[in-house]
Each structure stands twice: as structure tokens, then as C-alpha cells.
Chains A and B, each alone.
Chain A
Amino acid sequence: MSEYTSSQMMAVAMARQVKDGSTIIVGTGLPLVAASLAKNSTAPNVRLCFETGMIDGGPIEVPTSVSDMRISYNASSLWPQYYYFGFQANAYKKKTIDIGFLGGAQIDAYGNLNSTCIGDYWHPKTRFTGSGGANGIATNCNTVIMMKHQKRRFCEKVDYLTSPGWIDGPDGRKKTGLPEVGPQAVVTELGIMRFDELTKRMYLAEYFPGITPQQIQDNTGFEMDLSRAVEADPPSQEILDILLKKVDPQRLMV
């Protein structure tokens, strides 16, 4: 059996969410590695788009940010940023974006995300970057979210709602005035969560090899339905080779 770390499993699980031929919006860090991994393996025709206006880039080295020139390698176009805004704002009508990748520091049962601060907003215990492009992606696109799985991060109520998920249930987005798209999956180092069709609450869909559903509940600060969970396949040696030899040989992210 192949040896791998939890962040490598995460990258592989995230890459599995990417359909070949789809168009995805990618942020920085591990999501970017996962997207590159998908493009270099199961989804060679995926179109990677970035909030900087860099569209359909084909990075062959790990970019460190969404503005890294490594992203513009073989790109279709480098838009001024305001065109990206329009592309994203029109996406839910024209169905031009399949998935946006997001990350955050806190998430609640409805997939609302916090990437702004821990504690009181005006006197934060820990301050983060703030929204970046995340709020716009969460507003306009279906999303896949990547998180560290800890009880304090999976909480009843986020300290600051930076990027809207399903708000508080099935009619949450509509009453808030948001387009009716939203989070589809949450990938952590322990497993994959999805959202119930009817209630829009998070449930456990897959747990990674060596992890139990109860372990995941123990690391989650709200009640989660475990009844539908199945064990995920481990990463193949082939995909790990692509990840570690081609996508991120300097081990910048994994």
C-alpha cells in the first residue's frame, strides 16, 4: 500500500471533485495544488481561472499566489480584473463556471465560511487576510471547500461570515438576495462532507482510510448525519507520483 500524508490525501480527494472539461475558479494554497493535480491527471481539459483575471492557465510549476506568473503559462488571456468580476457575476446565469474552490478558518453546518477573524471583529484574537476573492466566488458559484477538520473550525456559528454558504437552510440564499448556487462539498484531512438536498445541512459522505465516522463527529462542533458515509479509496501510487514528482516537487504545499 502507498504511503501518503493527510495533506496529500486531501489534495487527491479535492482533485477527484474536478470533472474533465469543466471550468473552475481556484484560490491559493492546497486548492491550487489540487487543481493542478487534476489537470495533470484525470482532468487534462479542465479550465483553471483565477480572480486576477488570468484565464485557462496551464501552470507546470506550483504557483504561490493567484497572481504568480506561473499561472499565466499557456493561459488563454489575461483580463483586467473588472472583466473577471463580470465573468463571475454572469456565471450563474450562463453556467460558465462549474465550481469555485474555497478555503477558510471556520465553517458552520450550512457551509458559511469565515476567513476574516477569530473572536470579536473589532478586537480579534486572530486576524486573517479577509475575504480575498472568496466572497464573490461564494456569491456567484457552486463551491467545493477545503478545510482543516477541527472542532473549533467546524462550529455552530462562525465568528464572522465572510463567504455565504446556504445561510440557514433551503431558502436561506433566496431570502438574502443571493443567486441560488452554493457549497457542494467540504474536503478535509479526515473525509468529504456534502449538503443534504432538502435541509442543506452538512452530512458525512466519505471518510478516508484509517479514519472512522465517529472520529469525524468528535472533531466537528455540530451534529452531523453519519448514516450515509462510505470509506473513500486511498490514492493510487500513480497519482501520488504525479503530485510529488510533477505538481509539487519542491513540496511547497504538500
Chain B
Amino acid sequence: MSYESKVMTMREAVKKYIHDGDHIALGGFVTNKKPYAAVHEIIRQGIKDLYLEGGPGGGDTDMLIGAGCVKVLFNSYMANSGFTQVSRRFRKYVEEGKILWEDYSLDVQPMMYHAAALGLPYVAVKNMLGSSLVDKWGIPEEVYKSDPKLPAFKLKVEQNPFNPDEKVCLLPTPKIDVGIIHVQQAAPDGTCRIDGPIFLDTDVAMAATHCIVTCEQIVHPDELRAEPWRNQLPNVIPDAVVEVPHGAHPSQCTNYYDYDAMYLRMYDKVSADDELFEEFLNEWIRSTKDHNEYLDKLGASRLLELKVKNGFNYVPGLKRR
């Protein structure tokens, strides 16, 4: 049997699906399975004015902000926890008012993605009631009203129509143009197998109009179709399949590699300073023409040291400071 192929290069996928002013969401969680190879390519192509769903963001979202790619950030958390307690470019851009941002909690925001994945118009939650997340809106009311990429307003607190004694917080589901996730295995037709935690990945993939899947390896569809119950996304969801081994570096990838703690420490240092950060972008991202050159720069022995040990799914005793 033959299958269609959605395989393309990282450059082609970003060029085809991500445009200035798009609303995008990234999979992974803080320092785990973040789609860094795609983030690097977005920076290389100099894409601007993104509406970025930060969700459980880390260095990936921070890097996009620092590279000037982001206009509006939807945030509930941003840190390379354990290495950087508050992402430093994010912090600077918010403190200096260089981007627009909105705050949610890191259970409501994933529910907004889940609702978008299910095609629901809004979600009703108890979370955020009684907090400043309800009263203080990061994005001014007039911007909500005038920007067609945004809902009419942040949220609304109402009575539950089925139980008038109960208050609920209603939030609109986001209209995401492109979702990007990194998985372990994908077939050219788009069938995906995710090992380890799924986090928000399937929701991010399904919530968006277009979905880019980056993967550790492309495998034959028959390999994944022999056990379809182990696949998290069917071929009908992804638009692009890109093979980028170590594509989540410096974050973790179950069954493949641990986070690169010393790289995360380096990022902590460079992201604290405007000039060092520019040098970092130029050295590691803009002057590497693609992901392979980035890997060459990291070097084989460094990557091999991060390979997870059987039975652990991390590197026991990894150098972390």
C-alpha cells in the first residue's frame, strides 16, 4: 500500500505554514520535548509579530521573544525551572512594555487548548475566581475590541445557568493558526507516536488550523500501523512532518535524551544580557544554516553524553551544575 508524504525540511515547513502575524502554539513542557529546532528556524527566517501561546513555556518561548518574533504573549508560566527561575528575555520585555501579554493559570490555558481541539466555543471553569487573573487584563480592552486576531474580551464571570448559586469563569477558546510539536516517531503520512508524557501536545496539534510535527525519526507507516493503539495522532492531523534528530535539544525527549543542563545554564547567563543574547543568537542560531549545522556545533560527544540510560529515561548523575 502507498501513503501520501508530508515530509519536508524544517525550512520548507516554517516557510509554508508560519507567517508574520500568525497565532502559534508550541508543544512540550518547560524543559521537556520543546520544539527547539522549529523555534530556531522561525528565528532564522526572521518571522515577526507572532501571537504566541506560551502555555508551559521555557527557553523556547523566551528565545522567540528575545529574537523579536513576538507581538502578543499568552502566558501562564515561563522558566527553565531549576536553571532559570523566571525566563529573562520574557521578564525584560514585560518590564519594559516591549510586548503585549495576557496572564492565565497553567490549568486554564491548557483547557482552552483542549476546548479548541474539541471545537468548543468557550470553557467554563472555577479556577481564577477571586484572583487578579480575573480583574487585571494585560491586553487593554480597546485592543481586544479592535484586533481581529483576539477575542472580544479576556473573560467573563457569570452564574452557572444550571446552578445559579455557582459562579463560573468563562474563557474564549483561542483561534490558533499553527501548532508545533516534537515527537519521537512519525510516519511520512503524519501518523505520530509519542513516548513518555503527552502534556498538551495532542491538544496543540488538534487546536490549530495547521500542524507541524518535528520528530526524532521518520519511520515506515507500516511500523506504526502495526500497533495503531500506540499512536497518539492519526495521519489526518499533521500538515508537515520534519525529521530533526535531537530536535528538542536542550530539553528532554523520552527514550532519546536528557536535558542539556550545561546548555541551559549557558542560556541562563546569555539571556540576562542584551549583548550576550545577541551574540548567542548569532553564534548558535543565525549563523548555523540549519539543524544539522547546529548539531555539528554541539558535537557528537556532547549529544552522546545526554543519551538516556535504559530503565531511567534520564542520565543518572548527569552534570547539572
- The chain A residues found within 8 Å of chain B, CB to CB, are 28-29, 51-54, 61, 63-70, 72-73, 78-82, 84-85, 88-89, 116, 121-136, 139-140, 160-164, 167, 172-173, 176-179, 250, 252
Asked if A127 meets B91 with Cβ closer than 8 Å, knowing A68-B252, A133-B105, the reply is: yes
How far, in whole Å, are A128 and B252 apart by their CA atoms in the complex?
24
Q: B320, A252: Cβ atoms under 8 Å?
A: yes
B81, B133, B259 — which one has the most chain A CB atoms within 10 A of its CB? B81
B125 contacts across to A, CB distance below 8 A: 89
User: A66 touches which one: B81, B136, B168 (CB < 8 A)?
Assistant: B81
* B86: Cβ under 8 A from any A Cβ: yes
Do B81 and A64 touch across chains, with their CB atoms under 8 A apart? yes
| A167 vs B131: C-alpha distance when bound (angstroms) | 9
Are A122 and B138 within 8 A (Cβ)?
A: yes
| CB under 8 Å from chain A, chain B span 180-235 | 196-200, 202-203
The proximity string for B residues 137-151 relative to A, scoring 1 for CB distances below 8 Å and 0 otherwise, is 010000000000000
Q: Which residue of A lies closest to B317 (CB)?
A: A61
Bound-state Cα–Cα, A91 to B77, Å: 23
- B129: Cβ under 8 A from any A Cβ: yes
| Consensus secondary structure, chain B interface | loop
Inter-chain contact A28/B107, CB cutoff 8 Å? no
Closest Cβ of chain B to A183, distance in Å, is 13
Given contacts A53-B199, A73-B313, A127-B95, contact A68 B128 (CB under 8 A): no
Contacts of B252 in A (CB 8 A): 67-69
A164 partner residues in chain B, CB cutoff 8 A: 129-131
Q: Report the separation of the CA atoms of residues A52 and B252 in the bound assembly, to the nearest whole angstrom.
A: 14
A85 to B202, CA, bound (A): 15
What total of A-B pairs shows CB separation below 8 Å? 202
CB closest residue in chain B, given A251: B321
Residue of chain A at shortest CB distance from B125 = A89
Which of A51, A68, A127, A178 is close to B107, meaning CB atoms less than 8 Å apart? A51
CB-based contact B82/A252 at 8 Å: yes
Per-residue 0/1 for B259-287: is the Cβ within 8 Å of any A Cβ (1 yes, 0 no)?
10100000000000000000000000000
Contact B130 A178 (CB under 8 A): yes
The answer to whether A161 and B132 touch (CB under 8 A), given A64-B320, A73-B312, is yes
In this assembly, does B299 line the interface, its C-beta being within 8 Å of a C-beta of chain A?
no
Residues of A within 8 A of B120 (CB): none
With A61-B316, A126-B95, A135-B128: A162-B106 Cβ-Cβ less than 8 Å: no
Output the least CB separation between A73 and chain B (Å). 7
Residues of A within 8 A of B105 (CB): 131-136
* Contact in complex: B31, A129 (CB < 8 Å): no
- Can you give 6 contacting A-B residue pairs, CB < 8 Å? A72-B197, A122-B97, A130-B75, A136-B107, A172-B130, A178-B129
Task: Please give the distance in Å from A106's CB to the nearest CB on chain B.
Answer: 12
Contact residue among B78, B104, B128, B198 (Cβ-Cβ distance under 8 Å from A129): B78
Q: Does B36 contact A (CB under 8 A)?
A: no
Question: With A72-B196, A81-B110 given, is the CB distance from A161 to B86 under 8 Å?
Answer: no
Which of A61, A133, A139 lies in contact with B128, CB distance below 8 A?
A139
Pair A67/B31 contact, Cβ less than 8 Å: yes
Nearest A residue to B114, CB-CB: A82
CB-CB nearest in chain A for B199: A81
Cβ–Cβ contact A131 & B77, under 8 A: yes
> CB-nearest residue of chain B relative to A253?
B82
Residues of B within 8 A of A177 (CB): 126, 129-130, 157, 166-168
Q: Which of B307-321 contact A (CB under 8 A)?
A: 308, 312-314, 316-317, 320-321
Closest Cβ neighbor of B311 among chain A residues: A73
Kindly list chain B residues whose C-beta atoms are within 8 Å of the C-beta of A81.
107, 110, 198-200, 203
**Candidates A79, A121, A161, A252; contact of B138 at CB < 8 Å:** A121
Does B108 have its Cβ within 8 Å of any Cβ on chain A?
A: yes
- Residue in A54, A65, A160 whose CB lies within 8 Å of B31: A65
Instruction: Assess whether B198 is in contact with A80, with CB atoms less than 8 Å apart.
Output: yes
| B110-A82 in contact (CB<8A) | yes
Task: Give B79's nearest chain A residue, CB to CB.
Answer: A129
With an 8 A cutoff between CB atoms, is B56 at the interface? yes
- The reply to whether A132 and B77 form a contact with Cβ atoms under 8 Å apart is yes
Which residues of chain A come closer than 8 Å to B91, judged between CB atoms? Answer: 126-128
Q: With a CB–CB cut-off of 8 A, which chain A residues contact B81?
A: 28-29, 64-67
Closest residue of A by beta carbon distance from B117: A82
Once the chains bind, are B203 and A173 in contact (CB under 8 Å)?
no
Q: Does B258 contact A (CB under 8 A)?
A: yes
**Cβ–Cβ contact B126 & A69, under 8 A:** no
A247-B320 Cα distance, complex, nearest whole Å: 15
Q: Determine whether the beta carbon of B133 is less than 8 Å from that of A129.
A: no
